[in-house]
Structures are given as C-alpha cells and as structure tokens.
Structure 1
Amino acid sequence: MPQRDGVPPSDLWSRPRIAAALATCDMATVIEGVRSARGWSQGELARAVDYSQSWVSRVVNGQQSLTVSQVHDLAQRLGIPLHLLRFGGGTPPDGATAPKEVDPTRRRDFGRVVAAGALMTTTAPRVAPTHTRHAVNETTAPALRSITGGQRRMDATSAARHLLPSAVAHVHLAEQMLANARGTPFLAPVSAAASEASGFAAWLHADQGDMGSARMHYRTAVVRARQTGIRLLDVYMLGSLAAFEIDTAEDPELGLGLVREAEHVLGRTAHPTANAWLACVGALAHAGIGDRSSAAHALRRAEREVARPGNCDPPWPWVFAFDEPKVAGYRALVDVRLRRPHDARQAFAEAFAPSGASAKQAAVLQVELASAHADAGDVDEAFRLAQEALATGIEFGSERVIGRVRGFRRRYTGPYAACVRELDDQLTSLMTGFSACG
C-alpha cells in the first residue's frame, strides 16, 4: 500500500522491479517506484526533492541525465540506500527480471559511481567460437596473474609510462581469455585474473594523470571481480576505486559511498586485514569532508582489527597483513587533511618508513609530510621534502607525484622564503623543458 508519509515501505527495495532497477542503476525506475509507493503525485515528488516538476518529469521518463551530486542528493532525500545501487555485472535478486534495455541517458553522468553496467555493454567480450575454447585450461588464470604480479613488482622501480603499453596489452589478453572461458569451469578464476590486470592498468593510468582511463579500468576491475563471486576480491576492487576517488580524484563524498558499498559486501566476519584496510580508506573519506568524529571512529575500528589474534597470513588479494604502522600511516594522512600538523608528524614517525615503500609511494608520503611541516610552520623542512618528492616525480615521469607537489604549492600561503622560490623555479622549469632538478 502507498505510504504518503515517512520512509518508503520496508519491502520496496526487494520488490522485483525495483530490485532489478537497483541492480542495473536505472534511477528513473527507482525514483518512480518511490513516488508510487508513497502515493505521491509528480508535483509532490518534485517538492520532496526540491526540484522543478518539469525536471522531475524528465528524470522519471529517462530524458534527464543525473550528475553524481544529484544522485547523492536524490538518494538522501528519498531514502534510497546507496549501497544497493549496484555496479552492474551482478545477478538481480531471485524473482527480479532485469529490463531488456537500459537507456544510457539515465546513467551517463552517474557513471563515475555505478555505470560499470554500461561499461559492460562496450567492454564485455563476445563469446568466443567453440573451436577456441581449448585455449583456456587450469593454467590460464595462474599464468595471467603471474604476469600482473611481475608488472606490479616492476612498478616499484620503473616509470609508469614504460609499463603502460604492456599492462594495457595484458588487459586485452585477459579479456580475450575471459571470452574463451565462458561456458568452461575456468570462468571465475580467469575473471579474477582479468580484474587484477585491469586494476593494475588503472593504477598506472592514475600515476600518469589520465583520470578517465584510470576510472574506466577501475570500473572494469570491479565488474570482473563481481563476476567471480569472490567477496574479498569484490571488496578489494571497490575499496581501490574508493581510494582513487578519495585521494587522486579528490572526491571524498563519492569515495565514501563506495566504501559503504564495499562494507556492505564485506560483511561483519571478514579477515581483520580487509576490515582494517577498508576502515582506513573510510577514515580518509571522512577526513576529506571534514568529519573528524567519523574519521577518528574509523581509525579506532582499524586499530581494533589489527590487534586481533587472527590478523596474520593476509587473504588474497592482499599481499601484506595490515598492521599498526600502516594504520599510523593512514592516521597521519587523516591528520594532514584535518589540519592537525603536530598530530600528523607524530603519526608519520610511528608509521612505516617511507624508504620501505617504492620510490613513487615514498614521494607521495613525502608531500603529505611536507604539508604537515608547512602547517606547523617548519617551512624549510616542508619545502625540502617537496623538492625531493618533485625530483622523484620527474625521474619516474609520475604525474601523480608531480601533481601532489603542485597541489602542495597551491595550498601554501606562508612567507615567500628562498626555499619557496626554489620550488617555484623547479615547477616552472617543467613547463619550459629545462630541468632544475639535475
């Protein structure tokens, strides 16, 4: 029965038509379902969401694209659970019948969060002819994963631009093997290998500053992970996309929505490493939107998880257990974003040493530490760290690192000391083609 007041009926989200719409990111059907369930007229719906009736009419008729901010706003106003807006590639709940066709205008702009379903229509490999199926066997997935593993190890000492061509080619190979695996017992492990390959390609594109390609590959990684039915891989790729949106794309609200989706998938009884890592990613998102209390709560949860006796032998796809120094590292990043420089410097001291990370990761940490020193008034040390990080960014051709240094410089509003002038000269040299970093 329609409910004109209060929250939507408790069974609304499990109704076959609405569940299918959530599974395919069909926002027009979801919003119309809420309107109908509450017994609202279209005008009442418009007043509830604080948009014009003509705009609402275009939305429910699939004629109006939605931005990320609009989707978040509508979901909040109408009580639509964000975690139920699926990335696509999953199976609708029992009894749900997915619509035969989804109008791409309904999710074009919302694609940054949940339009991997649309991505599936363009990147999903076609079923290979029967005579090629013999190319896939029990060795295919391990071989694909070993290639990705080797590329990841090389990333610590190589420029991303040198690795990208082979990484992208490897994604294409993995996708072809996935096409060949359809209808065989090897579909899930090959999907997992394809997910890892796309995730690494996304990482390299992000390092080169190609946000569009990075996001596309991260979405593919999420879709392929979900196809495997492997919960931890699904969470790992969702969390990786969340970290990208929070830290690289600087969209903490979007990242927080992805963290919540990952938490929903993860459940309450997961391995401590997975729980701690995801809590730390969430803490970064909360810090990015200025929510100190929630950030602190998430970090405390991570600390409890790493202290659990079972926090050893990390589960695939994690390589290392998530321990106290790693939580301290995230605490330092949170403190930088919350403008607590003294706390940040103390946390950095407790964290894993930057020298223990790859050169590019160490440079990223140096820029964060530079921000803490600048906020604390230690300008010389701040700019020394920034200059070292810039030199590393130039050496490896890492737009990720160079962009962090540029961002640090933009945020600095203190005195124009000699060290500030030196960094400005080095940044200017990048535009003129003459390196000031030796």
Structure 2
Amino acid sequence: MPQPDGVLPNDLWTRPRMAAALATCDMPTIIEGVRVARGWSQGDLARALTYSQSWVSRVVNGQQSLTVSQVHDLAQRLEIPLHLLRFGGTGRQEGHTRKAVNPTRRRDSSRAVAGSTLLATAPRPTGEHEEYHGVNETTAPALRSITGGQRRMDATSSARHLLPGAAAHVHLAEQMLGNARGTPFHTELSAAASEASGFAAWLNADLGDMGSARMHYRTAVVRARQAGMRLLDVYMLGSLAAFEIDVAEDPELGLGLVQEAEHVLGPSAHPTARAWLACISALAHAGTGDRVCAARAIRHAEREVASPDNAQPPWPWVFAFDEAKVAGYRALVGVRLRSPHEARAAFAEAVAPSPRNVKQSALLKVELASAHAEAGDVDEAFRLAREALATGVRFGSERVVGRVRSFRRRYRGPGALCVEDLDNRLSSLVTGTPIRG
C-alpha cells in the first residue's frame, strides 16, 4: 500500500518482486516500486530526481539505458540501499569504465553482473585496446584535453586559423565515438564529442557561418544527451539558445531553447547553472521587448548567485557565475531595452573580460558603445566602436565586425567626425581602399 506521508515501508526491500529486482539491477522495477510505495505521481518522481519527466518515463518503461554513475545518483535520491544493488560496483567499474546498465536486457543482467565483477578484479589482457578498436580509458581525456587547448588559444587567435584543426578534431572525436559503440567508454566519448562540436560551433559563429554553427551546436546537444550528462545537455542547449538570441538575432527561438534547458535542468540543480540560464532568458526577453520578464529573470539570477551553494561551479562550467557576471548581463539587457543609464551603471559593476581575451573584450566594447550612443555620448561611443572594429579586423572575426556594423546601422544621431571616420573604416573593408590618417 502507498505510504500517505511518502515514507518507504520497512519491508519494501525484502518483498519478493523488489528483492528480485535488486538482485538483477532491474532499475525500472525498483524505481516504479519506490514511486508506488511513496504514493507519488510520475511528476512527483521526476521532481524528486530533478530529471525531466520524459526522461524518467523512458527509464521506468525500460527505454533508457543508465550508466553506473546514474544508477548511483538515482539510488541516493530515492534512498535505495546501494549495498543491495548487484551491478559489480567496484572502483574501476565506476571510476573508469562507467558501464551502461541496459534496462531492456534484464534477463541477461545476472550474467552481466558476474562478468563485470570478473573484469573488475582480473588483470587486463594484453592487447585489450585492439578489441576496442583503439579506444580505451585514456581516449576521452585526451580528446577533452585537445578541446581545452583549442579553447585557450581562441582568446588570442583567429577563428579562421583554429577552425581547420577544430573541424578535424570533431571528425576524430566522432570516429572514436563510433569505435566505442558497445564498449564501456561510449558515455565518456559522447561527452568528449559534445565538447568538440560545441567549440567548433563557437568558431563558426565567430566567422559568421550560421548554418555550420547551428549544425555543430545541435550535434553537441545530441552527443550530450547520449552521454546522459544532464548538466552538459543543459550547457549545450543554453549555448545554442545564446547563439540564436545574440548572433542569429532570433530571441523567440532562443527563449524556447532556454525553456527546454530549464525543463531538463530541474528546480534543484546547482545555482550556477540556474543563474546562467536565467541570464540567457533575460537576454531573450529583452530581445522581444519584454521588460517585466527580463527584469524578473535578472532578479532570479541574482538570488541564485547569492546562494551559499554557489561557491564551486559544476562541470562543464569552469568559473563561478557571480554578481559581476550577472551585472554584465544586466548591462546587455539594458542596451537591448534602450535603457542607456541603467546599462552604463551595470557595465561599471561588471568585471571586464581578461585583457588576454581580446575578442570578448571587443564584443563588450560594442555593447558599451551602444549604451553611450543612447545616452548622447557620441564621441565615446564611436571611439569604443572603432577599437572593437580594429580587433575584429585583426582577428578576422566576422562576429565582432558584424556587431560594429549593426551598431552603426542603429545609430540615428547627429553626424560628427567620429561617425564619418567609422563609416570610412567600414567602407574600406568592402572596397579594400586603405584609410588615410
């Protein structure tokens, strides 16, 4: 009988059906048994697990494979005794191979338990890498290290120079992922392939190739979902949303992607993830002209970053999402809502990007230029735009150059020497005529 207070009955784990499910790691039966015993709906179950209801439904219906780490996570959230779950959980099995638990093959699970226990305790045979077509426990970390190195170079290198290597790296990651099908390394390689595609998307966006950027972002989302890593899924969805809002200038589509990411994330996720998504949502609302919703999203982000749990960011975030970053988004929202004084005040609160990341600094200068232009400070606005344009040209960044062009198109103020100078510089990019003076 369901427990009206949601407390699990003392004899639940000794009931024949549950005991048999524990013995074979039949997670769909175990999870459904816990749900019924607590008297929960499937929506209640999804909220308790902080996964989307559609994902939980696939697990319960035996349509979603689980990694060992996911089994651990679900067991801890549902108070399922880990010592009763028999899936051969040794240090090597959990920390390196992350073998997937396939709920659709329950009859084979007893043999899988025995096999995984033997693999975990027996020495690795010579030439095991040949069985896995060149894929082993070092492959995914090596691929992620390459992506990390390319990202660091992006701060001071032209995307045009980096893209051929990044594209080749995506191809390599996809090749290794194909080789890993049916091996214990498939999950980690899916995550590595997701990161590689996400970086390739960023480079294509910088070069103004919208179609390729969108394709790579979508691949990154698919690979993150294949990895079963919820935060990586959310990160790639949010990155695609930011691309649609900020680069493709389609805030309605971006808002829909943010809402999907929020649904995947759930209400109990890390504050960094929630704050970041709230800020992207604020940009989308500002793009549609919705001041009320944009302000509400920024306030939500401010509450999240103030949480004491926000000290250490979760992977794939590298740096904590703090008050200064929220202020930066508040400034961008002010620019889009044509509130120059609020935008300039927020820019003053925000910490500027590292001087080593010159392309990001150039994008920030264009946004700040827009705020100055709206406030009537034309000389300062066009000085910042000119500096950003020089950076965009030096690094071949179509994203930066395009942002300067957009700034100039939006300007409807009086003419001035600084305006004429920027016009001449933009024209020279088309005609190839050198600028005098």
Aligned partner of 1:158 in structure 2 is 157
Distance in 2 (CA, whole Å) between partners of 1:347 and 1:437 is 37
The share of aligned pairs that are identical, in percent, is: 76
Aligned partner of 1:172 in structure 2 is 171
- Contact 1:354/1:366 (<8 A) preserved: no
Distance in 2 (CA, whole Å) between partners of 1:273 and 1:357 is 24
1:282 and 2:276 matched = no
- Contact 1:235/1:265 (<8 A) preserved: yes
Distance in 2 (CA, whole Å) between partners of 1:237 and 1:387 is 32
Question: What is the identity, as a one-letter code, of the residue corresponding to 2:184?
Answer: P
Question: What is the identity, as a one-letter code, of the residue corresponding to 1:136?
Answer: V
Distance in 1 (CA, whole Å) between partners of 2:194 and 2:377 is 43
1:203 and 2:202 matched = yes
Classify the secondary structure of the residue corresponding to 1:135: coil
- Contact 2:156/2:356 (<8 A) preserved: no
Question: What is the identity, as a one-letter code, of the residue corresponding to 2:279?
Answer: C
Classify the secondary structure of the residue corresponding to 1:137: coil
TM-score, L = length of structure 1: 0.71
- Contact 2:369/2:382 (<8 A) preserved: yes
**Cα-to-partner distance string for 1:352-382 (whole Å, 9 max, x where unaligned):** 1245461000000000000000000100000
Question: What is the identity, as a one-letter code, of the residue corresponding to 1:330?
Answer: Y
- Contact 1:373/1:382 (<8 A) preserved: yes
Question: What is the identity, as a one-letter code, of the residue corresponding to 1:165?
Answer: P
Where do residues 32-431 of structure 1 align in structure 2 (5 Å cutoff)?
133-356=132-355, 358-431=357-430
- Residue 92 of structure 1 deviates from its aligned partner by 5.4
- Contact 1:90/1:227 (<8 A) preserved: no
The 1:435/1:199 distance shift into structure 2, 3 A limit, reads farther
Classify the secondary structure of the residue corresponding to 1:339: coil
- Contact 1:426/1:437 (<8 A) preserved: no
**Cα-to-partner distance string for 1:155-199 (whole Å, 9 max, x where unaligned):** 001000000000000000000000011101111110000000000
Classify the secondary structure of the residue corresponding to 2:330: helix
- Contact 1:195/1:224 (<8 A) preserved: yes
- Runs of 4+ residues deviating >6 angstroms: none
- Residue 143 of structure 1 deviates from its aligned partner by 0.2
- Residue 94 of structure 1 deviates from its aligned partner by 5.6
Distance in 1 (CA, whole Å) between partners of 2:370 and 2:207 is 22
- Residue 133 of structure 1 deviates from its aligned partner by 2.2
- Residue 261 of structure 1 deviates from its aligned partner by 0.2
Question: What is the identity, as a one-letter code, of the residue corresponding to 2:154?
Answer: D
Where does structure 2 lack aligned partners over 5 or more consecutive residues?
1-51, 64-128
TM-score, L = length of structure 2: 0.71
Distance in 1 (CA, whole Å) between partners of 2:433 and 2:290 is 42
- Contact 1:191/1:228 (<8 A) preserved: yes
Classify the secondary structure of the residue corresponding to 1:310: helix
- Contact 1:326/1:352 (<8 A) preserved: yes
Aligned partner of 1:47 in structure 2 is none
Classify the secondary structure of the residue corresponding to 2:310: coil
- Contact 1:90/1:226 (<8 A) preserved: no
Distance in 2 (CA, whole Å) between partners of 1:419 and 1:196 is 42
- Contact 2:170/2:200 (<8 A) preserved: yes
Question: What is the identity, as a one-letter code, of the residue corresponding to 1:167?
Answer: A
Classify the secondary structure of the residue corresponding to 1:194: helix
Distance in 2 (CA, whole Å) between partners of 1:281 and 1:249 is 14
The 1:434/1:254 distance shift into structure 2, 3 A limit, reads same
Distance in 1 (CA, whole Å) between partners of 2:405 and 2:56 is 40
- Residue 416 of structure 1 deviates from its aligned partner by 1.2
**Cα-to-partner distance string for 1:371-395 (whole Å, 9 max, x where unaligned):** 0000001000000000000000000
Distance in 2 (CA, whole Å) between partners of 1:270 and 1:429 is 49
Classify the secondary structure of the residue corresponding to 1:150: helix
Distance in 2 (CA, whole Å) between partners of 1:437 and 1:403 is 23
Distance in 1 (CA, whole Å) between partners of 2:298 and 2:61 is 40
Question: What is the identity, as a one-letter code, of the residue corresponding to 2:337?
Answer: L
Where does structure 1 lack aligned partners over 5 or more consecutive residues?
1-83, 98-129
Distance in 1 (CA, whole Å) between partners of 2:269 and 2:428 is 49
Distance in 1 (CA, whole Å) between partners of 2:133 and 2:185 is 11
Q: Which has the larger radius of gyration?
A: 2
- Residue 312 of structure 1 deviates from its aligned partner by 1.6
- Contact 1:391/1:437 (<8 A) preserved: no
Question: What is the identity, as a one-letter code, of the residue corresponding to 1:345?
Answer: R
Distance in 2 (CA, whole Å) between partners of 1:134 and 1:283 is 46
**Cα-to-partner distance string for 1:322-341 (whole Å, 9 max, x where unaligned):** 00000000000000000000
- Residue 436 of structure 1 deviates from its aligned partner by 3.2
Count of residue pairs the alignment pairs up: 323
Distance in 2 (CA, whole Å) between partners of 1:392 and 1:160 is 13
Question: What is the identity, as a one-letter code, of the residue corresponding to 2:198?
Answer: G
The 1:207/1:91 distance shift into structure 2, 3 A limit, reads farther
Classify the secondary structure of the residue corresponding to 2:407: helix
**Cα-to-partner distance string for 1:289-330 (whole Å, 9 max, x where unaligned):** 011111111100100111111112211100100000000000
Aligned partner of 2:84 in structure 1 is none
Distance in 1 (CA, whole Å) between partners of 2:131 and 2:171 is 16
Aligned partner of 1:33 in structure 2 is none
Classify the secondary structure of the residue corresponding to 2:309: coil
The 1:318/1:436 distance shift into structure 2, 3 A limit, reads farther
